[in-house]
């Protein structure tokens, strides 16, 4: 069985991603609280591709939501399926800018990588990546991280 980690970034990515989770949850018979209320065994057949099963029979999207500012995250959380996501899978900065600034990008990349590296998010096959700040950045960052992906 394969498992997919869904990454959505930015305002547009998170708005489209929120709609994606509404549709995929409906297809699998998952309600906004993460509880299965479907009427067919087929709906549960490959549910683990996109969801982790949590305690109490709840299904949680295997998703990481990223943005530079918290406004988009607040919109997703207050939307119809906003409570289905793990709160610690929301990664956001505290700036309102249309550009990836030299100070914001490194810290956001670090947060994103740390979220991806959590053992509950991913397991099995390693992939090593690096994130670096521009040389003129007041907050230089060079970080090499191993991210674990599932085999195809």
Report pLDDT digits (tens) over 98-112.
Answer: 455 555 556 666 666
Assessment of whether the complete model's pTM goes beyond 0.95: no
- State the pLDDT at residue 138: 46
pLDDT at 131: 46
Contact assessment for residue 89 and residue 64, using Cβ atoms and an 8 Å cutoff:
yes
CATH homologous superfamily for 6-149? Answer: Tubulin/FtsZ, GTPase domain (3.40.50.1440)
Please provide the DSSP assignment of 38-95 as one string: -S-HHHHHTGGGTEEE-GGGBEEE-EEEEESSHHHHHHHHHSTTGGGS-GGGEEE-S-
- Which of 90, 102, 75, 103 has its CA nearest to residue 16? 75
């Amino acid at each position: 069985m394969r498992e997919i980690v869904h990454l959505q970034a930015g305002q547009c990515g998170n708005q489209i991603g929120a709609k994606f989770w509404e549709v995929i949850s409906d297809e699998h018979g998952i309600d906004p609280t993460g509880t299965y209320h479907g009427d067919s065994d087929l709906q549960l057949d490959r549910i683990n591709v996109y969801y982790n099963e949590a305690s109490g029979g709840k299904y949680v999207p295997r998703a990481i939501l990223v943005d530079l500012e918290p406004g988009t995250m607040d919109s997703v959380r207050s939307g119809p399926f906003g409570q289905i996501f793990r709160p610690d899978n929301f990664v956001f900065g505290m700036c309102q800018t249309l550009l990836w600034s030299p100070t914001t990008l490194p810290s956001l990349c670090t947060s994103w990588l740390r979220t991806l590296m959590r053992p509950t998010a991913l397991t099995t096959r390693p992939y090593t990546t690096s994130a670096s700040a521009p040389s003129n950045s007041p907050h230089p960052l060079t970080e090499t991280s191993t991210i674990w992906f599932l085999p195809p």
